[in-house]
Every structure is written in structure tokens, then in C-alpha cells.
Structure 1
Amino acid sequence: MSRIGKKSIILPPGIQSEIKEDIITIIGPKGTLSYNLSKMINIENNNNQLHLSPIKINKESKALHGLSRTIINNMVIGVSKGFEKKLEIRGVGYRCQMSENHLILNIGYSHPIIIKPPKGISIKVEENVNIIVKGIDKEKVGQVAAKIRSTRPPEPYKEKGIRYSGEIIRKKVGKAGK
């Protein structure tokens, strides 16, 4: 059995769970998230603790056991605290701004790049070079942050581009002249 899957998920005060057939719904102060469980995984709620167990023990159910537990735990954290990713823009003349609900990036292309966040995700810009992506769904927050970063990934020669906050880019030496 999965070591991660064996751990029970403790629901903090103010967080509720509803289990109907194979769908688990987590309700909290920041919102509601649902997950469709596999038929190979059994879930039970005992005194505000969710416990997952595989119905049959085989390779696929072992893999789904830990995965399902992690996804449900991330849902609990998301509806109680939320998730955020921070990005930094580096480069001369590179900047960003918010216009209505759209993120506008000016990052060295001949045109500005406009990114509209999906429902449930909010984007905030600080000092024209710092971007904060917030939401309750960890997968969506990471996907939007990766989409923003992929518009101009950091390059190792001049260290220009969009990077995650705290990401280390190893600088490479350029071509040596004679």
C-alpha cells in the first residue's frame, strides 16, 4: 500500500466533506471543490478525518491510492487557505500590467501578450514586474503560472525572461572572442 495513501486527511474546523457515490465534495470558506474518485478506492469519513483505502490491491489501485489522497488533501488546503504562485519578470523594458481582468505582458515581442485567467483564478501585479497567481485549485494555479512563464522562459545567457520567484537560473558564459 501507498505510504502517502495510508495517512488520513484531517479536516480543519469550518471544512465539510460530502461523499456521494464516487464524488467527494469539499466545502470551505474560500469555495467548493469536487473530485471524481476511482471505483478502486474506498473513502470513509470518521470524526472529521477522511481515510482512503484500495478495494483490491493491484498495481493500478496502489498508484491511485496515493494520488487520490494527495488530490483530496490539496482540495482541503485550497478551500481553507488557497494557493499562490509568484513570478518575476527580468529584462530591460520588460513589464506587465492588469487591464480589467486581463494580464498584459510587454516582454520584448513586437506585440503585447494578453492572458485571460480562467474562472476561479485571480492575477495580481506588483511594481510592474511581480505577478501573483492565486486560487483554490492547485492544478489551475500551477497551469496558469506555467502558461505565463512559457511566454518568455528565462534564458541562461542574459538571464532575461519570466521566472518563478526563487527559481535559480545558472548563468552560462557566452561565446568567447579572439
Structure 2
Amino acid sequence: MSRIGKKPVTLPSGVSANVSGQTIEVKGPKGTQSFTATDDVTLTVADDSVTVTPRGTSKRARQQWGMSRTIVANMVHGVTDTFKKELEIQGVGYRAQLQGQVLKLNLGLSHDVDFAIPEGITVTCPKPTEIIVEGHNAQQVGEVAANIRDWRRPEPYKGKGIRYKGEYIFQKEGKKK
């Protein structure tokens, strides 16, 4: 039994959910999001909560049960508030700056990296070594932050690169003479 899947998703005031077939649409003060669930789960809206139940005992149905419930919970959170990922840049000369809808990254490569910010995502740079990615879709925010981080992952010897705020990088010992 899925511990996550068993819990109903409560709808806060100002948020409404509508189910038609396998598609759920959540409306709130910050916008509208929709999700189409697989045929392995059933979505129902009762009172002020959304419940997800599996349509069998197969392994796939149990996998989709918890995942679908989490996606619905993220949608409810997304239409009321924003998701946020913070990145830190460490390294001599490494910096980021925002120019319109393009994030310019100077990461010690032979060229500057121009990262186009997708629609629905806001990126801010309060300092040249900090990047904040915000949006209403949890999956999209995480994907954009991961794509930015992929340009220069933290290396294990000096720790230089782009890391999530608070991420611990295990430092390796250098070569001995």
C-alpha cells in the first residue's frame, strides 16, 4: 500500500478541481494546471479534497498511485504558491547575469553560455554567484535548475561549479608527491 497515495489532497480556499475522465484541472489564484493520469488510477473530487485510488493490485498501478497523487498535490501547491530552486556558483571568475529572457553564464569555458529561459519560469540573479529559479510547475522548475547545473557540475577536488544551495560536495584529496 502506498503511504503517499492513501492521503487525500486537500484543496485550500480559492482552489477548485474538476475531473473529466482521466484528466484533472486545478484552478487557483495563480493560474490553471492540468494533468492526465494513466488508466491505472482513478481520480475523484469530493468536498474539498482530491483522492487517487489504484484500479488493481498490479505493480504498475501501485507505482502510478503514489506518483499521480504527488503530481496532483504539486499542482494544488503550484496554483497557490511558487516553487523555488536556488543555485550557487563557486569558482574564480564564475558568474551569472540576466539579460532579458537569457541567462548569461561565465563558467571558465572558451565562450559564455547563453541559457534561454523557458516560458512560465522566472530566473533572478540577486548576486553574480546566485541564481534563483521560480515557477508554478514543480517539474519544470526542477528541470530548468538541473539544466543550468549541467553546464558546470561541481567537481570533487576544488568544489568549483554550479551547485544547489546547501548541497554538500564530498572533497577528494589531491595527488600526493
Q: In structure 1, what is the equivalent of residue 62 of structure 2?
A: 62
SS for the counterpart of 1:80 is coil
- Aligned residue number for residue 153 of structure 1: 153
Task: Figure out how many residues of one structure are paired with residues of the other and give that number.
Answer: 177
Between 1:142-151 and 1:167-176, the stretch displaced more is 167-176
Please identify runs of 4+ aligned residues in structure 1 that moved more than 2 A. none
Please name the residue that 1:171 is paired with.
171
Q: Measure, in 1, the Cα distance between the counterparts of 2:54 and 2:160.
A: 48
Q: Which residue of 1 aligns with 2:41?
A: 41
**What is the match of residue 27 of structure 2?**
27
Equivalent in the alignment of 1:94: 94
Give the aligned partner of residue 119 of structure 1: 119
SS in structure 2 at match of 1:123: strand
Identify which range, 158-167 or 54-63, moves more after superposition: 54-63
TM-score (norm 2): 0.96
Q: Distance in 2 between matches of 1:38 and 1:121?
A: 27
**What is the TM-score with the length of structure 1 in the denominator?**
0.96
1:166 partner SS? coil
SS at match of 2:123: strand
Judge which range, 136-145 or 53-62, deviates more: 53-62
SS in structure 1 at match of 2:79: helix
AA in 2 matched with 1:112: D
TM-aligned CA deviation for residue 56 of structure 1: 2.3
Structure 2: runs of 5+ lacking an equivalent: none
**1:142 corresponds to 2:169:** no
| Letter paired with 1:129 | T
Offset from partner CA, 1:32-51 (integer Å, 9 cap, x none) = 11100112211111111111
Aligned-partner SS, 2:77: helix
How many angstroms apart in 2 are the aligned matches of 1:113 and 1:172?
28
Q: Distance in 2 between matches of 1:18 and 1:117?
A: 31
Distance across 1 between alignment mates of 2:92 and 2:41: 52
2:35 counterpart SS class: strand
For the aligned residues, what is the CA RMSD? 1.0
